[in-house]
Structure 1
């Protein structure tokens, strides 16, 4: 059997292959999935890909599955590790951080202002895949930004650097890095003017560099033997899928609950009424990643949000039994109940960290309002993806209770989606792979997303 396209999602532990056909017809078709272990640490990721292909063939009742094209997303070997360095935290640093997160990066360190010795040592210890330097609006601050460039160029690291700061400094920065024998990519300033974010060019370059890096990494060198098309970070693929889908069904958020992290992607400009109260610009496409909220690897962090004793009481078990019920793939009724409670807390915490707040303050001229962060009030669709939300029976209910409605607290009113927002579940669990597909097949990927989401 030959299919038009295979898209592989290469995770930290599992590799999943998704098969599609009919890409040149009005109704492309999702045929099925196969999975195998991720074998990047064994020195050859294609071993796991082949095992996933074998399972796919079995599920389709075929001896073998051949393909015309193969794309891939990857979060194997820790995904895309980046450090981000800017000038003012709420300005250039924030813009650079938004660009990196939107590209699907795992940000391991962020600095603002002059780089210190311990900052530089931390970068060396992290060993990032890419370093992003920003700072200064165009034709603004130069001295600190250039000093930071000098320090970064002197690091004993063989990796690509990106410069997305004051455009006036770009030629000097490029010359500096090249003289040091470093790879430097110049992009448009991520924060060219006060209150103006420009993160799309950075996002695209980061994903391009990721593809170049990942195909040279240990265990991934043979990836091009099988993958014919694009390779992008898995979270970046989810964002691409969200953006493509939003162009058809309007403002949305995607919540991806996994074993190690919980990611929230939102695509919305917020309401016009509240935009005048914003104290800092927010990107239309925003991703937050909660590295402490995973329903398996980081389950203990979630339990500690309420306390082990209370969590166990909510489930109806004792603390000792609770330890035995946390599984990567829950099968028994008790295991599923624990996973559902972990997912519920992960969703509530992650959305609370992602959403902006409306605050009422008092000053010399009296009472006034401000908005800090992302306004989700005009979001029409709340999409659940990831193993937990797509496989647990209560996934829809968890999103309904954890995301919608208003929760007022002393820190301000969270700007959450209203009651009219509709819940959708990624039934085929292929939001990321369809995001990767959207690079070349935008219409077909959206058609298949709508089919998976039943919208």
Structure 2
């Protein structure tokens, strides 16, 4: 049996391979998955990939998989690590951060204003894959931005730098980095005018650079022996899938609960009425990453949100048993109960952090309203993906409970959370391949959307 396309999702601990046929027909078909451990730190990622292929072949009753094309997404070896540096936190820094997160980056450090010695040392210690420098609206501030460029160009790092700041400085910045023997990529300003975000050019170039430099990860150079097409960061692939799907079915939110992080992606402009009260611009396509909310690696952080004793009562498990029941893949009924409890707390906390707030304030001229953050009230669909929400029986119920505001945790949010309204429908990515289909969409957009709709049953 020849498979038209394989898409590998190479995670931190598990590598999953997905098979598709009929890509040149009106009815493309997802035929199955195989998985194996990710072997990037053993120096050869293809070992885990081969194991996943063997499992897929076995599930299809074949001895070996024969394929025409293979794409991949990866968050192995720490994913796409970036540091982001701008001028004013709520302006150029925020724009640069949104661009990096939307591309699927894991942001390891953010600075605003002049770079200091300890900032520079931290960047060296982090050893990022890419450094993004922004700052200044077009034809605005130059001095601090160029001083930051000089400091970054002098760092003992062999990696690509991206400049997305004041356009007037671009030629000087390019010359400076080239004189230092550093790779520099110039893009449009991420914040060209006050209250204007321009993050798409940055997102595209970051993903391109990730693909070019991913082979520098331990063992990742061998991936090219098998992959014939694109390799993009897994979170960036989820965002691509969310954008493609929203073009077809309307505004949406995707909640991706994993073992190490919980990501929330939203694609919506918000409501016209509430946009009048926004105090800072928000991107249409936004991603937030909660690195402390993983249902396995960071389970202790999630439990601490409630307290261990309260959590054990919440899931109906004795305190003494609790730690032994936290598993990467829950199998027994008790393990599943614990995992569901962790997932519910992770979803609630991540959505609260992603969602904007409407506040009523009082000033000299009387009562007035402001909106801080992302307005989700116009969202039509809330989609659950990731291992926890797609594999646990209560995944859909958990999402529905949270977006209706039936919270477990007592929060100190001042104002009204701008959550999806009553019309929003909850869907589960039953085939667990939102990231995979996002990667497929780079070449097979129409087919990827059809398959997404099938997985979501919409």
TM-score, with structure 1 as normaliser = 0.99
CA contact (8 A) 1:376 1:417 kept: yes
1:434 aligns with 2:434: no
2:13 paired residue number = 13
2:450 paired residue number = 447
Structure 2 stretches of 5 or more lacking a match?
none
Higher mean alpha-carbon deviation, 444-453 vs 58-67, is at 58-67
1:415 aligns with 2:418: yes
Measured in 1, the distance between the counterparts of 2:246 and 2:405 equals: 21
Measured in 2, the distance between the counterparts of 1:265 and 1:385 equals: 11
CA contact (8 A) 2:130 2:160 kept: yes
Deviations 1:253-295 (A, max 9, x none): 0000000000000000000111100010000000000000000
Higher mean alpha-carbon deviation, 77-86 vs 404-413, is at 404-413
1:180 paired residue number = 180
3-state SS in 2 of match to 1:191: coil
CA contact (8 A) 1:406 1:413 kept: no
1:104 paired residue number = 104
Structure 1 stretches of 5 or more lacking a match?
none
3-state SS in 2 of match to 1:215: helix
CA contact (8 A) 1:405 1:417 kept: no
2:274 paired residue number = 274
Measured in 2, the distance between the counterparts of 1:128 and 1:383 equals: 31
Offset at 1:216? Answer: 3.0
2:61 paired residue number = 61
3-state SS in 2 of match to 1:96: helix
2:314 paired residue number = 314
2:152 paired residue number = 152
1:4 aligns with 2:4: yes
Higher mean alpha-carbon deviation, 37-46 vs 78-87, is at 37-46
Measured in 2, the distance between the counterparts of 1:405 and 1:397 equals: 13
1:167 aligns with 2:170: no
Q: How does 1:205-224 map to 2 (within 5 A)?
A: 205-224=205-224
CA contact (8 A) 1:390 1:425 kept: yes
1:40 paired residue number = 40
Deviations 1:107-162 (A, max 9, x none): 00000000000000000111100000000000000000000000000000000000
Aligned pairs, number = 455
TM-score, with structure 2 as normaliser = 0.98
Measured in 2, the distance between the counterparts of 1:203 and 1:342 equals: 32
Deviations 1:183-231 (A, max 9, x none): 0000000000000000000000000000011123220111111000000
2:134 paired residue number = 134
Offset at 1:382? Answer: 0.3
Measured in 2, the distance between the counterparts of 1:66 and 1:241 equals: 26
